Structure 1
């Protein structure tokens, strides 16, 4: 290792340790041990330009071990990303700083993904590699490889233990994603001590079984060996690569090196001094970086800027030679023209007969795909049930990266992370699909979608006890409340074709909010009163003839029809009520106070909510004087129509419940 390389690697270590010490909080172990591999990758092998962090053909880097965030922040500072300053590093983990405890997408320039839960970054990296492969298949022509970059991810033992990594890498190997390179920081330490306590498997053997190329670097400080491994990984485009780098957690700190205590707590002031002395660092001053180190990183950045200039020239030639492809590129990155579809009469055509909203959704999806070429997605082995196959378009596979229909296999957790990664890459919009009850597996990565502001679309079918014979394990009850509880996450449970069209429009036009479409297996009757007002989340479906209704029944999805029929029966007894359809509480809450008052006036206190799921969350609409027709248990196994009757989802029971609050 040359003097400047050694000094630069140690600058990364020292900056990380100083920031964590000043914050009195953080994880110094990973940055100290992984600094050499990160330095080697970022300075000699990774294609990126700090002057243009959004360069379309840059290599992507995901720090899956997000607790080691100071490693990434140190690199971003030294390269000059977003003018991340020493002051920013010194404010590590402080309120409103640019250096939060874990990397956050859209918050710090140069951060490609929000990586909190271990393994999540691995799944998103697979999604980015999939996006690169698809974009390359669509756009590259002859010698014009306008899409030609790698995806790198770095994580440790924890990322390898989490099940999401197994799901994601199994699929990555199946798809032979040759431009995906994973760094495994293997230091045999976790929070509780040696990994031998709970993790003794042969990770390389596992990845060989996934059909990865596997490479091991015995000394994590050997830049030459690390560099050779990276080039070997890049040379094999027939399969993804795992590079296992054997490191010592907390390297350089005599009292902490190789110990569990180096993982998640500051080194301590005395140990910081000992670290710097042990590394022969030129200053004991906190946050000191020698000028020659800055010069070193500036030289690399300047070289990378020229690489982007060459790409810009290539793309200009490409655009001249293939103007139709340049136009398509613009549609991919700046949005296809879908407004014409959403304003057409055909799109808003009401259904003429009863149908399941999953079937309706499938038809609408195909209409959207016809005008939105960059839409890609699929299901967790449930496409025939979720109705998510895009007719006339090919499947994405190891033999055809240009396909739009994706087969995720039975991997809901990784599927969602991959969907996030596809959108994070840029150029593509993605959807994922499964049974609604399995949103339990989806939710951790859906939460990251919401945190990052990634507009991933979730198609979640078989929405209630209407699943029927499969029984309680497959009948969602509390899942709707779970998803509604997520900030920045829109949940639609439409009652018919018009509301399903509204849900899809909202999802596709959303720029920073993920959207879930919760859809039925059972057939639903078209509602005469349904309208585009569904885009407001809640609206008056059938109104009272009185200026002040005798009461209000609020419902969503399959239960809207019950509410409408109950209104008719109550009307026969002189009780004149309003029916409010509430396909999306989340979107309804975004409306003006005036609008919400017009739909649910505070003066009308007699209210009943009807929904074949948990009543959790309905209280703010029903109030103290209202009541519920909802689920109180986990359902049962039997024909759907008998289950709805058994659990009280009948016109008679809705009428009875409403009369009970009169």
Structure 2
């Protein structure tokens, strides 16, 4: 009885911590943490394998709080089990420079696996985490050496399951039979506006059964025995992802706000918090009350769980002796070390036959794949068009966990979030591909990848009106500038096949955020590497591709398929005794990181006549052309027509570049 009473005291302590923290911040979501405290207790006190002293232990179970607004649940258990979070951090919930932000943030708080908050994202991230575990297990596990056997535990809400991305991801997870996923669906029937039946009355359990999931239901989240039994069943189910639907009462313990929208997204109020404490037998006047026996209980749980890493370390030491080559490969990959000569495999393209940069990208991928086992990916049902299939490698599937080609289906949103989960393994370098226009379907995971500074690579082909006949709906205009403005996002739009190969080199080496490659559908000339500056300078973001013999009268700047236009225009202007410098600018983001000295060398302040050319929105280019410059861009939507015709119609011709440059030079 005493132990049972202590367990209840532990659970109620978490409920009160959540109520106190939200009340002190005068902001937040107290109701769900109060409701889910029993589930948190089960997970952190005996189910999950983790080590508070080493939150990054390779074989730890991953916990994802998809309903990130309930983060006081997670913060409380991280603090109580011994992670580097203090009670003072809990008291600073949602305050400036606190490590306990209003939603969980990766890298900010020890023990947080992924940034969540936008509903549905965490749900899909967990699918990527599960894929990573399965791939690594297939590659490295050997008989008697289950080096990677961790599971993904996640909590999702009614709101998560209303979001379309969770449906996309759930369908994919079921299709792939990811039996290392155990998700808890908190069914509390409340959202901000009121009861969920205002907009949501589907039978979630049947939906997930149709997806191919193993589904269970626990009628009362306070029934710890039923919860534990359901988790054991889920752990034994290895062929399907598991969903455990748990019924809870939001704001549990609050006499006046339980089971109401009032407990969802606002503080309970000082008087109500006191009533909660009274309900649970705690001192009503004492805030942030963590009884010593509760802290001792959870600290012991954390220490007990950390023993799992000690056992794993012993196993791994024996593994290294038995399989030294595999261990060496794994350790090199997780340390960020790339094979010594991998860059030598990058193809060099000769002039003569034009080639679309999407095709050059595919050739580059296949050239380097053998040396980079951590490089895996696929497309949203577009690999023949995006050229992202790795030849000679199988597809990742139920019976092929070492497959390196992925088929995400027509699920761009989920693909982005799943890639994030894969990247969070700190092992894989995942890539995903679709047309640039469909990056709009992926903006939430792209933004979160940039926020977390993780390294998925996005291959966006069909990068302009130059894709031609597919027309207005498929021709991107504003997408490039939209992606370029995302902090920590690196966008690269290579000018030809050789810049494309170098773009892949930069993307593979880049470790500080996602990289997006914008590639052409149409064939474009290969720039002569012997005549002009080498494409290796792409890493600087912009470089002088071809200079004039005398001081330039004008600087011509372009990215991607428009670079060959300004190169040709330079030749024609020279015939009229006009000196033009040609600058290839494949990446604003990389160029902006260069030294002031380098930027001045490429774009000297003394030369104010500058013309930028890009088949996309002109917004942002004036940063590089200055007030005395001009931009040939697009400020309207495209049309359906062959690529050459539409490019001419929109002014992307050598003749128009020459005409505009001459007018610019004459302009006072």
**Quick check: TM above 0.5?**
yes
> Does the 8 Å CA contact 1:336/1:372 hold for their aligned counterparts?
no
Question: How far apart, CA to CA, are the structure 1 residues paired with 2:660 and 2:251?
Answer: 64
Q: Which runs of structure 2 are paired with 1:519-598 in the superposition (5 Å)?
A: 519-528=519-528, 529-531=532-534, 532-546=536-550, 548-598=551-601
1:33 counterpart residue number: 35
Q: Which runs of structure 2 are paired with 1:373-384 in the superposition (5 Å)?
A: 373-384=373-384
Deviation per CA, 1:164-206: give whole Å up to 9, x if none. Answer: 1000000000000001011111100000111111111111111
Question: How far apart, CA to CA, are the structure 2 residues paired with 1:309 and 1:341?
Answer: 35
Deviates more, 1:527-536 or 1:213-222: 527-536
Q: Which runs of structure 2 are paired with 1:205-284 in the superposition (5 Å)?
A: 205-282=206-283, 284=285
Question: How far apart, CA to CA, are the structure 2 residues paired with 1:180 and 1:203?
Answer: 17
Deviation at 1:353, TM superposition (A): 2.7
Alignment gaps of 5+ in structure 1: none
1:402 counterpart residue number: 402
2:634 counterpart residue number: 631
Deviation per CA, 1:106-157: give whole Å up to 9, x if none. Answer: 1100000000210100010010011111111111111211111110111211
Q: Does 1:150 align with 2:151?
A: yes
Displaced runs of 4+ in structure 1, greater than 4 A?
Answer: 345-352
Question: How far apart, CA to CA, are the structure 2 residues paired with 1:466 and 1:184?
Answer: 46
> Does the 8 Å CA contact 2:128/2:420 hold for their aligned counterparts?
yes
Question: How far apart, CA to CA, are the structure 1 residues paired with 2:345 and 2:171?
Answer: 44
- 1:177 aligns to what SS in structure 2? coil
Question: How far apart, CA to CA, are the structure 1 residues paired with 2:609 and 2:645?
Answer: 29
Deviation at 1:486, TM superposition (A): 0.5
> Does the 8 Å CA contact 1:351/1:496 hold for their aligned counterparts?
no
Question: How far apart, CA to CA, are the structure 1 residues paired with 2:653 and 2:570?
Answer: 13
Deviation per CA, 1:288-343: give whole Å up to 9, x if none. Answer: 1011111111221222122221111111112111112211221332235345232x
> Does the 8 Å CA contact 2:44/2:81 hold for their aligned counterparts?
no
> Does the 8 Å CA contact 1:10/1:281 hold for their aligned counterparts?
no
1:119 counterpart residue number: 120
Alignment gaps of 5+ in structure 2: none
1:204 counterpart residue number: 205
- 2:381 aligns to what SS in structure 1? coil
Question: How far apart, CA to CA, are the structure 1 residues paired with 2:194 and 2:330?
Answer: 50
Deviates more, 1:264-273 or 1:565-574: 565-574
Give the superposed CA RMSD. Answer: 1.3
**Cα 1:111/1:351, change in 2 over 3 Å:** farther
- 1:558 aligns to what SS in structure 2? helix
Question: How far apart, CA to CA, are the structure 1 residues paired with 2:513 and 2:368?
Answer: 19
- 1:314 aligns to what SS in structure 2? helix
Deviation per CA, 1:341-369: give whole Å up to 9, x if none. Answer: 32x38645555531111111111111221
Deviation at 1:479, TM superposition (A): 0.3
> Does the 8 Å CA contact 2:434/2:461 hold for their aligned counterparts?
yes
**Cα 1:165/1:345, change in 2 over 3 Å:** closer
Deviation per CA, 1:515-562: give whole Å up to 9, x if none. Answer: 11100011111223242111100011111211x310111100000000
> Does the 8 Å CA contact 2:346/2:368 hold for their aligned counterparts?
no
Match of residue 654, structure 1, among 645, 648, 657: 657
> Does the 8 Å CA contact 1:466/1:522 hold for their aligned counterparts?
yes
Question: How far apart, CA to CA, are the structure 1 residues paired with 2:615 and 2:82?
Answer: 54
> Does the 8 Å CA contact 1:488/1:513 hold for their aligned counterparts?
yes
**Cα 1:240/1:624, change in 2 over 3 Å:** same
> Does the 8 Å CA contact 2:274/2:284 hold for their aligned counterparts?
no
> Does the 8 Å CA contact 2:48/2:61 hold for their aligned counterparts?
yes
Question: How far apart, CA to CA, are the structure 1 residues paired with 2:626 and 2:309?
Answer: 59
Question: How far apart, CA to CA, are the structure 1 residues paired with 2:99 and 2:648?
Answer: 55
Deviation per CA, 1:412-457: give whole Å up to 9, x if none. Answer: 1110111110111232111111111100011210100000010111
**Cα 1:503/1:659, change in 2 over 3 Å:** same
> Does the 8 Å CA contact 1:319/1:326 hold for their aligned counterparts?
yes
2:440 counterpart residue number: 440
> Does the 8 Å CA contact 1:7/1:281 hold for their aligned counterparts?
no
Question: How far apart, CA to CA, are the structure 1 residues paired with 2:300 and 2:82?
Answer: 12
Q: Does 1:516 align with 2:516?
A: yes
Question: How far apart, CA to CA, are the structure 2 residues paired with 1:350 and 1:509?
Answer: 25
- 1:2 aligns to what SS in structure 2? helix
Question: How far apart, CA to CA, are the structure 2 residues paired with 1:121 and 1:346?
Answer: 35
> Does the 8 Å CA contact 1:628/1:657 hold for their aligned counterparts?
no
Question: How far apart, CA to CA, are the structure 1 residues paired with 2:140 and 2:431?
Answer: 21
Q: Report the TM-score when normalising by structure 1.
A: 0.98
Question: How far apart, CA to CA, are the structure 2 residues paired with 1:584 and 1:444?
Answer: 22
Q: Which runs of structure 2 are paired with 1:354-433 in the superposition (5 Å)?
A: 354-433=354-433
Question: How far apart, CA to CA, are the structure 1 residues paired with 2:365 and 2:72?
Answer: 42
Match of residue 46, structure 2, among 32, 44, 47: 44
> Does the 8 Å CA contact 1:537/1:583 hold for their aligned counterparts?
yes
Deviation at 1:221, TM superposition (A): 1.0
Aligned positions, number: 659
- 2:614 aligns to what SS in structure 1? strand
1:618 counterpart residue number: 621
Question: How far apart, CA to CA, are the structure 1 residues paired with 2:238 and 2:70?
Answer: 29
Deviation per CA, 1:367-425: give whole Å up to 9, x if none. Answer: 22121111111111111111111112111001111111111111111101111101112
Question: How far apart, CA to CA, are the structure 2 residues paired with 1:261 and 1:346?
Answer: 59
Question: How far apart, CA to CA, are the structure 2 residues paired with 1:505 and 1:321?
Answer: 34
Question: How far apart, CA to CA, are the structure 2 residues paired with 1:466 and 1:331?
Answer: 41
Question: How far apart, CA to CA, are the structure 1 residues paired with 2:40 and 2:350?
Answer: 56
2:469 counterpart residue number: 469
Deviation per CA, 1:571-624: give whole Å up to 9, x if none. Answer: 111111111110000000001111111111111111111111111110111222
Question: How far apart, CA to CA, are the structure 1 residues paired with 2:440 and 2:368?
Answer: 28
Deviation per CA, 1:208-266: give whole Å up to 9, x if none. Answer: 11010111110111111111111111111110011111001111011110010111111
2:25 counterpart residue number: 23
- 2:619 aligns to what SS in structure 1? coil
1:300 counterpart residue number: 301
> Does the 8 Å CA contact 1:341/1:347 hold for their aligned counterparts?
no
Q: Report the TM-score when normalising by structure 2.
A: 0.97
2:646 counterpart residue number: 643
Deviation per CA, 1:31-64: give whole Å up to 9, x if none. Answer: 0111111111121211111122111111000001
- 2:560 aligns to what SS in structure 1? coil
Deviates more, 1:626-635 or 1:607-616: 626-635
Question: How far apart, CA to CA, are the structure 2 residues paired with 1:336 and 1:392?
Answer: 25
Question: How far apart, CA to CA, are the structure 1 residues paired with 2:481 and 2:340?
Answer: 31
Q: Does 1:159 align with 2:163?
A: no
